[in-house]
Amino acid sequence: MNRRVTVSARAVVGLAVAVGVALGTIALSRIPYDPYAAVGDGALLRLSWRARAPVVVSCRPLTEEERATIPAHMQRPEVCERQTVPYVLEAWLDGRPLLGATLRAEGDSPLYVFREASIPPGPHRLRVAFRPQAAGPAGAAAEGGMPLARTLEAEIRPAPREIVLVRLDEETGRLEVER
């Protein structure tokens, strides 16, 4: 009989927690949300895409000190290091710098770009540059070809509270403005 009381008490507590979570979710879903609150009556420029960053491989022979610490059966003729190429992202609006960042992919992951900036509504000249920072050390080779620089120059005319999206077209490899 004691066991039935314990199971019933657990069921009641579990039901009370589930009801509390459901009521909390309902209450939180009624809070008003304005996605443009940070922008006000301005517009928003959003740079958003992903790209496969080339990997630079640089190899060198083992030093005598390294050979002495590594067992003979584990020695390789060369030690190779793999690094992804860092990219520089820059954006100008009407010839004035708007955004700037150096981006690097982590491991074998793609390079993710997501940056936003508030801009005033109306006609503007937009320039976005996405280029490799450096090709790597001397004698290094890039896997999958050398990295390409991409540049976009466009006339934009955002309305108040409009989001202007710059994205990378995966088929053509070009930066483009999408609304």
Per residue in 61-83, pLDDT (tens digit) is 888 888 888 888 888 888 888 88
164 Cβ neighbours under 8 A, 6+ residues apart: 43, 44, 45, 46, 119, 126, 156, 158, 177, 179
Q: Report the pLDDT value the prediction gives residue 73, as an integer from 0 to 100.
A: 86
Residue keyed to tokens 């050979």: 67
Distances (CA, A) of 7 to 15, 99, 131: 12, 60, 64
Q: Report the pLDDT value the prediction gives residue 152, as an integer from 0 to 100.
A: 95
How far is it, in rounded angstroms, from Cα 73 to Cα 76?
Answer: 9
What would the two tokens of residue 77 be? 């003729």
Residue 58 has pLDDT above 70, yes or no: yes
Q: Which of 101, 92, 94, 83 is nearest to 142 (CA)?
A: 83
Q: Report the pLDDT value the prediction gives residue 7, as an integer from 0 to 100.
A: 62
- Tell if the pTM clears 0.85, that is, is over it: no
Domain segments of the chain: what residues?
1-31, 43-178
Q: Report the pLDDT value the prediction gives residue 97, as an integer from 0 to 100.
A: 97
Residue 146 has pLDDT above 70, yes or no: no
How far is it, in rounded angstroms, from Cα 158 to Cα 132?
Answer: 29
| pLDDT greater at residue 135 or residue 179 | 179
pLDDT tens digits along 94-118: 999 999 999 988 877 888 999 999 9
